[in-house]
């Protein structure tokens, strides 16, 4: 039996999904090396769990990726990327595409270290734009990524890195797994600063409206663009199932509960107990509609989300509200 330095390595561990994944692996009793480029005080979650080794490393550099994978691991989860919500990815295409260095070097280092399983976090942004032009979009099947017409910048990097993982499997026999995430949200996510996604932005705006007594809430565009949103606990369950499965093709990890952005904001307003005045303003919109077809993932993994949008947003709003209160009080909130 091969002796590994750790059971799992998580890159991007200081981020939202990575932090939750480290916590889940630690709860299983796994030894984990948590890796991120950010200083420890900027990580979304503390990783001081038993069996967790935290490391600051820039895995876009091959020597740093090799250091992060030193000694090998049973499972490698590559979630490291320079990304954010639509406001970020539409205005930072070059930065998003430079994540190809991270994707490439972590994969190379994992192969060199002889890891058992390699997971890559892709995105629904790989899907062809001409299949997402209507608010009542037909849910996207995995085959809809081709012919290729992904989101400019971010989507192209993700699609290329998917193919690279595929070819490492074909050429070297490396067990690679790819999930296409659909708008993952929940507590401990980015909620301000320009990288936040729609659920966190809606929660922050609603929390500020509650605290300020100002009913005006801004929404980008007409708000009729549609999306599905995946609660973080469901995402982590899907990631672990996929990584440990024998299915090697990309699969959707997403909810099929389609809502408009207007409906999302109205839901959060109801959770917050306020009746806002909606103000529609220009802003980055992305595709007109996007939803996840979960036929394949249900078939091969028996997975589907178990958290309704209302339940997930109730948890998320409560957490964001406490963050906003803590920031205004000049204290650091944690739970």
Q: Where are the domains of the chain?
A: 6-184+230-253, 186-228+257-293+307-325
CATH T-level assignment (fold) for domain 6-184+230-253: Rossmann fold (3.40.50)
Q: Which of 127, 154, 265, 317 is catalytic?
A: 154
Give the span between the Cα atoms of 190 and 196, in whole angstroms: 5
Per-residue pLDDT tens digits for 149-206: 999 999 999 999 999 999 999 999 999 999 999 999 999 999 998 888 899 999 999 9
Those residues with Cβ within 8 angstroms of residue 310's Cβ, 6 or more apart along the chain or in another chain: 267, 271
Active site residue 154: yes
Crossing angle between the packed helical segments 232-243 and 16-27, to the nearest 10 degrees? 60
Give me the pLDDT at residue 58, please.
97
Give me the pLDDT at residue 135, please.
87
Which segments of 173-298 are extended strands (E)? Answer: 176-181, 184-185, 216-220, 226-227, 230-231, 251-253, 259-260, 277-281
Give me the pLDDT at residue 134, please.
86
Give me the pLDDT at residue 334, please.
54
Pick the CATH number of 186-228+257-293+307-325 from 3.40.50.1370, 3.40.50.10470, 3.40.190.10, 3.90.25.10: 3.90.25.10
Q: Which residues of the chain have pLDDT under 70?
A: 1-3, 47, 332-335
Give me the pLDDT at residue 1, please.
42
């Amino acid at each position: 039996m091969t002796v590994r330095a750790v059971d799992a390595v998580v890159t991007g561990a200081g981020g939202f999904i990575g932090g939750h994944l480290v916590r889940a692996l630690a709860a299983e009793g796994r030894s984990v090396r948590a890796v991120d480029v950010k200083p420890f005080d900027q990580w979304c979650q503390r990783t001081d769990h038993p069996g967790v080794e935290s490391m600051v490393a820039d895995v876009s550099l091959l020597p740093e990726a090799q250091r992060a994978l030193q000694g090998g691991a049973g499972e490698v989860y590559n979630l490291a990327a320079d990304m954010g919500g639509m406001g970020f990815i539409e205005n930072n295409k070059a930065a998003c595409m430079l994540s190809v260095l991270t994707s490439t070097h972590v994969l190379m280092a994992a192969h060199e270290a002889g890891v058992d399983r390699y997971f890559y976090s892709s995105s629904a942004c790989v899907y062809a734009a001409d299949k997402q032009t209507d608010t009542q979009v037909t849910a996207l099947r995995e085959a809809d990524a081709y012919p290729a017409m992904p989101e400019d910048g971010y989507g192209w990097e993700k699609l290329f890195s998917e193919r690279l993982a595929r070819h490492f499997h074909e050429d070297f026999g490396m067990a690679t797994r790819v999930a296409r995430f659909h708008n993952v949200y929940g507590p401990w996510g980015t909620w301000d600063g320009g990288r936040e996604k729609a659920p966190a932005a809606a929660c922050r705006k609603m929390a500020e409206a509650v605290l300020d007594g100002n009913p005006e809430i801004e929404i980008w565009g007409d708000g009729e663009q549609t999306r599905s949103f995946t609660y973080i606990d469901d995402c982590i369950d899907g990631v672990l199932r996929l990584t440990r499965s024998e299915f090697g093709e990309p699969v959707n990890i997403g909810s099929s509960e389609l809502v408009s952005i207007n409906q999302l904001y109205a839901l959060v307003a109801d959770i917050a107990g306020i009746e806002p005045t909606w103000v529609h303003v220009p802003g980055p919109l992305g595709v007109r509609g996007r939803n996840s077809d979960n036929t394949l993932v249900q078939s091969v993994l028996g997975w589907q989300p178990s958290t309704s949008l209302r339940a997930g947003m109730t948890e998320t709003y409560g957490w964001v509200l406490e963050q906003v209160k803590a920031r205004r009080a000049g204290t650091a909130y944690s739970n």
